[in-house]
Amino acid sequence: MEKIEEFLRSRAEEGLLRKLRPAASRRDGKIYFGKKEYIDFSSNDYLGLSNHPKLKKAAQEALETYGAGSSGSRLLSGDLDICHKLEKAVAKFKGKEAALVFNSGYQANIGIVSALYGAGDCIFSDKLNHASIIDGLLLSGVKFFRFSHNDIGHLESLLIKERAKFKNAMIITETIFSMDGDRPDLKSLVSLKEKFDCRLMVDEAHATGIYGKNGSGVVEEEGLSDKVDLIMGTFSKALGSFGAYLAASGQMIDYMVNKCRSFIYSTALPPAIIAANLASIEVIKEEPHRRETLLKSAEYFRNALKAKGFETRGSSQIVPVIIGENHAALNLAEALQKKGYWVMPIRPPTVPKGEARLRFSITYGHGIATLERLVNDIANHIPSGSGTR
């Protein structure tokens, strides 16, 4: 008990203590706590699809057809025909031979990495890759090297020094990073993976639905679907539902069905969720105006912040405002919440020490007038010369 008490006390003193905040409801870019309404800037529902009529209708129809639960793992009784329909749709969407659905992005990443690699192998991972990727590395027992964020030169130097010492190797990156909102030089990563005989895996969780001609992601946008070996992503962000996927070769998917523990030993997703995922892919193709509007709004917001002297990063729908000190980030978040904006402070260890920030998730429901007012409210709260400009 003393260890627990000391941990909680030190967290509170450092401005790092986290607490759950149950919302009453969330819809149309708003979130409600009791009767209090906020404009929601903490949601990953980038395109506003979680309340889209087509997703809700598909889920309701599947509920009537299949029932509420899936009843078992996919290798037992949970392997419904609708699962295979979704996997075929994902494979086509991602330009790959086959796909496999997982219960969450976390389960996908820890399972994929630990199934493929182990002792005698190595992985080169971007330093800012998601915690689920890091946990997959640790679980696998593989030797891994973390290269400086989006630093192709550093990665190449590590490959030159270390690659030949190991049998199998892989490079892992995200295509849109969740905290900085930036993207890697994917073409250079492909060149390095070919030069040094590695696989390349990308996490498209924050890119799927937003980038590319068909909304498939950054890999599609850059025309590299046949060059990236493993394309992982989620249905829980821009696609407005839940779950995750891996798109790869048919052989790779067969291997995962037989080897990946996080897939094998998990009850299948409920059929209503599977149906909503199917519907979300169709909506992404049918309504490109959503992603076009979203990216224009995000560009406006980032440029308006920069014009006021704030430090922001990236070029996506994720717009971080770097504050620095933990308590300062907490105070700004609280001040904005009082004005009706729901935005959360992001602090270490999620981000590096000294880089506490407010992470604004721009969504389809955020109009320019709202974003203009928000920029002014941020600027009015932080005095000039505070170190954040």
pLDDT band at 268 (very low <50, low <70, confident <90, very high): very high
Helix (H, G, I), strand (E, B) or coil at 32: strand
pLDDT, one tens digit per residue, over 37-83 is 999 999 999 999 999 999 999 999 999 999 999 999 999 999 999 99
Mean pLDDT of 365-378: 95
Residue 386's pLDDT is: 44
Give the end of a domain, one of 246, 271, 286. Answer: 286
Give the end of a domain, one of 241, 267, 286. Answer: 286
pLDDT, one tens digit per residue, over 305-314 is 999 999 999 9
- The answer as to whether 329 is a domain residue is yes
Residues 272 and 313 in one domain: no
pLDDT, one tens digit per residue, over 103-162 is 999 999 999 999 999 999 999 999 999 999 999 999 999 999 999 999 999 999 999 999
- The answer as to whether 292 is a domain residue is yes
Residue 385's pLDDT is: 38
In the predicted model, is pLDDT for residue 28 greater than 90?
no
Residue 384's pLDDT is: 39
Residue 34's pLDDT is: 86
Phi, psi of 230 (to 5 degrees): -130, 120
Residues 33 and 61 in one domain: no
Residues 58 and 38 in one domain: no
In the predicted model, is pLDDT for residue 100 greater than 80?
yes
Residues 210 and 358 in one domain: no
Q: What amino acid occupies position 178?
A: S
According to DSSP H, which parts of 67-185 are helical?
81-94, 105-116, 131-140, 152-162
pLDDT, one tens digit per residue, over 78-98 is 999 999 999 999 999 999 999
- The answer as to whether 254 is a domain residue is yes
Rounded Cα distance between 284 and 280, Å, is 6
- The answer as to whether 7 is a domain residue is no
Residues 266 and 217 in one domain: yes
Residues 233 and 162 in one domain: yes
Give the end of a domain, one of 263, 286, 309. Answer: 286
| H or E stretch covering 290 | helix 289-307
Residues 199 and 331 in one domain: no
Residues 265 and 203 in one domain: yes
- The answer as to whether 206 is a domain residue is yes
pLDDT, one tens digit per residue, over 320-356 is 999 999 989 999 999 999 999 999 899 888 888 899 9
Residues 32 and 148 in one domain: no
Q: Which domain holds residue 152?
A: 53-286
- The answer as to whether 324 is a domain residue is yes
**CA distances for 189 relative to 169, 232, 326, 357, angstroms:** 13, 16, 34, 29
- The answer as to whether 17 is a domain residue is no
Residues 98 and 121 in one domain: yes
**CA distances for 202 relative to 183, 264, 288, 291, 347, angstroms:** 11, 22, 23, 21, 25
pTM of the model: 0.93
CB 50 within 8 A of CB 238: no
- 383, with CB counted inside 10 A (0-12, 13-18, 19+), is exposed
Cis peptide before 345 (omega within 30 of 0): no
Closest CA to 29 of 358, 302, 294: 294
Residues 137 and 248 in one domain: yes
Least confident of 8-17, 227-236, 282-291, 333-342: 8-17
Angle between helices 152-162 and 186-195 (to 10 degrees): 10
* CATH number of the domain encompassing residue 42: 3.90.1150.10
- As beta bridge partners, residue 126 has 147
* CATH number of the domain encompassing residue 170: 3.40.640.10
DSSP 3-state helix, strand, coil percentages of the chain (rounded to 5)? 45, 15, 40
| Beta strand ranges found along the chain (DSSP E) | 25-27, 30-33, 36-40, 98-102, 122-126, 143-147, 169-174, 199-203, 230-234, 244-248, 318-324, 341-342, 345-346, 356-361
Query: Catalytic positions, please?
Result: 44, 130, 174, 178, 203, 206, 237
In the predicted model, is pLDDT for residue 389 greater than 70?
no
Interior angle at CA 185, CA 351 and CA 48, nearest 5: 60
Residues 157 and 300 in one domain: no
Residue 388's pLDDT is: 53
Domain count, the chain: 2
Residue 35's pLDDT is: 85
